Amino acid sequence: MSMAAEDTAQAKLSRLQKRLRGFGSAAVAFSAGVDSTFLLAVAQETLGTALVAITVRFRDFPQRESETATAFCDERGIRHEIVEMDVMSVPGFAENPPDRCYLCKRAIFERILSVANEQGAAVVLEGANRDDDADYRPGRRALRELGILSPLHEAGLTKEEIRALSREMGLPTWCQPSAPCLASRFPYGRRITPEAIARVDRAERWLDAAFGGLGQLRVRIHGDMARIEVARERFPDILARSEEIAAEFRRIGFIHVALDLRGYRTGSLNEGLKG
């Protein structure tokens, strides 16, 4: 990030801080990911105790982040509310239509708004950034409808800038891989079940542990086939252990295993919706 740039990350951070101060109080939808952790940390610096973090914990989904979210808030003395939710009961979610993310976000943020109102927060904030504009994001419509604000996006911050600023702030998430909802591993129209979610989670956890961390990793589910997405530079590592991977994936419940030759990319299952 060159300081000669017309709009530096520091300038965007200053805009963000000014925007947050103007709220007086706020609730932050906190998943413990890169963006929401940065937003929560900056919000604490600017709003102090007039802040509450709200984390949604989903029944039937693995709890990858809720323990991390609790530990972060405890360490920093941030008021933290956990909302339990059965996302499988959201009408239309399990059928997995192209607007699944809209249906889910709408239900989630209705719950978050309710808790935020109980806690006396003036606004509800979430962590979308400018890079999110590059992909199909039907959930953004739900945020607009409910009046949820995205101050990182408003400030013009990109993921790279958020990571760099997070590193400067000493946040542990600065190098953390992105981890979207496990429902994003299913092609649209393929029914989502708790059992299939568990298979995907187990496969991704095993792969990541087996290789000591693969960075950005996705196991996309296509019926009885698992399609692995990793960075292209990790292809030789995956191929060298292909028999071991195939055997473990069979134990998990997949019959076929494929390595996507295009490598990891954000929103690969949205590609069929474009053009």
Q: What is the pLDDT of residues 82-96, one digit of tens each?
A: 999 999 999 999 999
Query: Are 27 and 123 in a shared domain?
Result: yes
Question: Could you tell me if residue 63 is inside a domain?
Answer: yes
Q: What's at 250, amino acid-wise?
A: R
- Domain around 257: 182-273
Query: Are 46 and 158 in a shared domain?
Result: yes
Query: Are 73 and 152 in a shared domain?
Result: yes
Query: Are 68 and 91 in a shared domain?
Result: yes
Q: What is the pTM of this model?
A: 0.88
pLDDT at res. 269: 64
Query: Are 143 and 208 in a shared domain?
Result: no
Query: Are 248 and 155 in a shared domain?
Result: no
Q: What's at 273, amino acid-wise?
A: L
Q: What is the CATH number of the domain that holds 109?
A: 3.40.50.620
Nearest to 47 by CA among 128, 125, 108: 125
pLDDT at res. 66: 83
Name the token pair of 91.
Answer: 């009408």
Query: Are 29 and 156 in a shared domain?
Result: yes
Query: Are 187 and 76 in a shared domain?
Result: no
User: How many separate domains does the chain show?
Assistant: 2
Query: Are 147 and 197 in a shared domain?
Result: no
Question: Could you tell me if residue 121 is inside a domain?
Answer: yes
pLDDT at res. 126: 97
79-85 vs 51-58, strand pairing mode: parallel
Query: Are 203 and 116 in a shared domain?
Result: no
Ranges under pLDDT 70 in the chain: 1-6, 64, 267-275
Query: Are 150 and 186 in a shared domain?
Result: no
CA atoms of 81 and 63, how far apart (whole Å): 15
The neighbour count for residue 207, using CB atoms within 10 Å, is 21
pLDDT at res. 275: 42
Question: Could you tell me if residue 226 is inside a domain?
Answer: yes
Question: Could you tell me if residue 90 is inside a domain?
Answer: yes
Query: Are 123 and 257 in a shared domain?
Result: no
